[in-house]
Amino acid sequence: MGSSDPVRGVVVERVAPLGTAMARVTLRVVDGPVPEAVRTHAGHCRLLFPDDATDGGAGGSARSRVFTYRRWHADGRFDIDFALHGGTGPAARWIARATVGDRLGWKHGGPPKLTLDAPLPGPAVLIGDATALPVISALLERAHPRLHGHAILALPDIAGVLPLTAPTGVMVAHVPSGDAALDVLQGLALTCETTVFAALEADAMRGVRRFALDRLGVPRGRVFTSGYWKAGLATEDLAVAKRRADWFGDPEDRSSRMPA
Ligand SMILES: Cc1cc2nc3c(=O)[nH]c(=O)nc-3n(C[C@H](O)[C@H](O)[C@H](O)COP(=O)(O)OP(=O)(O)OC[C@H]3O[C@@H](n4cnc5c(N)ncnc54)[C@H](O)[C@@H]3O)c2cc1C
């Protein structure tokens, strides 16, 4: 997250359901133009939501949550697709009643960990739940036409979710959970030439990471994994957990923490 990027204001121009499980919000930056460098395709940002759990929204305190730029419009507006997870965090509470004219804080983050616009040495496998559908959709719609591989989407409710635009060599599978996504991955005929991208609940992400590194032997440089959320942990606590050396559970990280 670019710490030098300022916090600016955004206003909601449109809220549109994407089926029953997601909603698309179009935001316009209110205080001046958006530099081209900020308009990173499939990049991420922080949105600052009112902390109405503690102050009813009256005290002006805000809590930031990370989201993906699903699409930049030519005029500098951008779309964010929210997974409607129904929790009690500030983002979940806000999207449940978001309306045109709402204002939020916005802080640009940075580009995605991976881009797919250049040819890869082998297939790509992209795994994500509803929170990663925006980044996977954005990556695939600009992917190199010869990209081949699999997108495995853990979406319990896909009704109304827009179809992915992807190169013809990418097979798309919908499964109900992160565990089921790992099952599909384990059944694919893949080699260490594969590039793996996984963004989903943290424990599910670790299962994918372990399989890619330990069983497929994919080099770490081609395994892009992120715990986009963790069951039972609010974003602030997740950020603390991610700073621990053994967050990914990689053997070298574990051994570096063992007493000599
Ligand atoms: C780089 C990045 C990009 C992201 N992009 C998007 C995006 O485009 N769209 C999007 O919807 N999310 C995205 N996320 C995930 C989003 O930041 C988290 O889901 C975040 O926790 C939501 O904040 P909250 O205030 O609702 O919940 P928090 O206050 O963070 O957590 C409160 C509770 O809700 C639970 N929770 C959080 N998310 C979920 C979930 N998806 N399902 C079930 N329970 C959940 C937590 O476990 C916790 O118990 C992204 C995350 C990262 C790191």
Report which ligand 1 atom has the smallest distance to the Cα of 90: 25
Q: Are residues 156 and 96 in the same domain?
A: no
Domain containing 70 equals 7-110
* Nearest CA among 149, 98, 144 for reference residue 123: 149
Please, is 63 exposed, middle or buried when counting C-beta atoms within 10 Å of its C-beta (0-12, 13-18, 19+)?
A: buried
The single-letter code of the amino acid at 66 is V
Answer yes or no: is 150 within a domain. Answer: yes
CA-nearest residue, atom 37 of ligand 1: 229
Instruction: Please give the pLDDT value at position 81.
Output: 98
Instruction: Show pLDDT as tens, one digit a residue, over the chain (260 residues).
Output: 456 788 999 999 999 999 889 999 999 999 889 999 999 999 999 999 988 765 544 556 899 999 999 999 999 999 999 999 999 999 999 999 999 999 999 999 999 999 999 999 999 999 999 999 999 999 999 999 999 999 999 998 887 787 899 999 999 999 999 999 999 999 999 999 999 999 999 999 999 999 999 999 999 999 999 999 999 999 999 999 999 988 887 876 654 444 33
Name the domain boundary from 110, 137, 165: 110
182 occurs within a structural domain? yes
- Which pLDDT does position 246 carry in this prediction? 87
Of 76, 110, 144, which marks where a domain is finished? 110
Give the β-pairing of 124-129 and 223-229: unpaired
Quote the pLDDT of residue 54. 56
Q: Which residue lies with its CA nearest to atom 47 of ligand 1?
A: 231
Whether residue 234 has its Cβ less than 6 Å from ligand 1: yes
How would you classify residue 91: left for phi > 0, otherwise alpha for psi between -120 and 50, otherwise beta? alpha
pLDDT of res. 254: 54
Residue 19: give its domain's CATH number.
2.40.30.10
Q: 104 and 134: one domain? A: no
| 246: CATH | 3.40.50.80
CB 216 less than 6 A from any atom of ligand 1: no
* Residue 118, domain member (yes or no): no
Helices (H), the chain: 52-55, 90-96, 133-141, 178-186, 202-210, 235-242, 251-256
pTM of the model: 0.94
Do 84 and 27 fall within a single domain? yes
79, part of any domain: yes
Measured distance CA(211)–CA(209) in Å, rounded: 5
Any ligand 1 atom below 6 A from CB of 83: yes
pLDDT at 59: 53
Is residue 45 within 8 A of residue 107, CB to CB? The reply is: yes
Integer Cα distance of 13 and 126 in angstroms: 31
**Whether 156 and 245 share a structural domain:** yes
Q: 74 and 153 in one domain?
A: no
Q: Is 94 in the pocket of ligand 1 (CB under 6 A)?
A: no
Task: Check if 197 has its Cβ closer than 6 Å to any atom of ligand 1.
Answer: no
> Structurally, how many domains does the chain consist of?
2
Domain end among 110, 135, 167: 110
Residue among 1, 54, 85 whose CB has most ligand 1 atoms within 8 A, to mutate:
85
59 and 139 fall within a common domain: no
